[in-house]
Amino acid sequence: MLARLRKVLMKKGSLSTDIINTTPGLPRCSTYPNHFDTLRKLYRPIGYNNTRYWDDLEAYQRWVDLNLGNAARLREAFEKAGGRTAFDPSLGCLRVNDAVSICFGVAKWRKYESRDVHWTLHRRSRWPAGWIVAIRLGTNNEAVQDYILLPSPSRAFRWLWISEDNPQTYKIEVFQTFEELARSLVRRVNKATRSTPTKRQRSKAIVGRA
């Protein structure tokens, strides 16, 4: 296992979860923690100590874990309100009442010379239509600034560029806490999904009478 990984490192010059997962003959990243606890402990024996990479990876993992926690909290809130939920960890999306999909992302802080601050939100290609819940990071991406909620854009954008001046472009709503966002989302999703069966029943009744 280590010998093959060392050969990939020598060939590619670096390692990442994408490189490991797409290299034939290597186990997927999810397999290594069973033997090495963390990827950092796996990389150490083969001499891969890219400090910047580890800093980026640790930051990324921190926001992934926070999103997973938020998804669990939102799922609990929906179920307490009588909803049915299912979470797909491969997509990072929550399915509610078999009707609405809610995906979780991170809007990263960006500041380029002579330009105003922007945030970039990566929309995964396999995300279904529905809602996007995103952590919006503050200066230098060191901490959470707030939370944003937006409907999935009708066009298949891979990256959304968000600024303080264009929230209406993506119909973005801003919440200072995740609890506020969760209450708002549970209320509107439950209202929408519960009204649908009623409309269908009325339609069937009208057809029956006709």
Q: What pLDDT shows up at residue 33?
A: 66
- Give every residue of the chain whose pLDDT is below 70, as ranges: 30, 33-34, 37-39, 50-54, 195-210
Residue in the block written with tokens 């409907």: 151
Dihedral of the CA atoms 195, 198, 204, 207 (nearest 10)?
-80
Question: How, if at all, do strands 159-162 and 173-175 pair?
Answer: unpaired
Per-residue pLDDT of 112-170, as tens digits, reads 888 889 999 999 888 999 999 999 999 999 999 999 999 998 777 789 999 988 778 88
Cβ atoms of residues 103 and 133 within 8 Å:
yes
Q: What pLDDT shows up at residue 196?
A: 52
Cβ atoms of residues 101 and 129 within 8 Å:
yes
Q: Which of 94, 84, 76 is nearest to 193 (CA)?
A: 84
Q: What pLDDT shows up at residue 53?
A: 65
Residue 11, C-beta contacts closer than 8 angstroms, at least 6 positions apart: none
Around Cβ 93, how many Cβ atoms within 10 Å?
22
Q: What pLDDT shows up at residue 203?
A: 34
Buried b (16+ CB within 10 A) or exposed e, 126-158: ebeebbbbbbbbeeebeeebbbbbbebeeeeee
Q: What pLDDT shows up at residue 95?
A: 96
Spell out the domain ranges in the chain. 2-49, 67-202
Written as one string, the DSSP assignment of 139-156 is GGG-SEEEEEEEEPPSS-
Q: What pLDDT shows up at residue 207?
A: 33
Two tokens at 4?
């093959």
Q: What pLDDT shows up at residue 54?
A: 66
Q: What is the pTM of this model?
A: 0.70
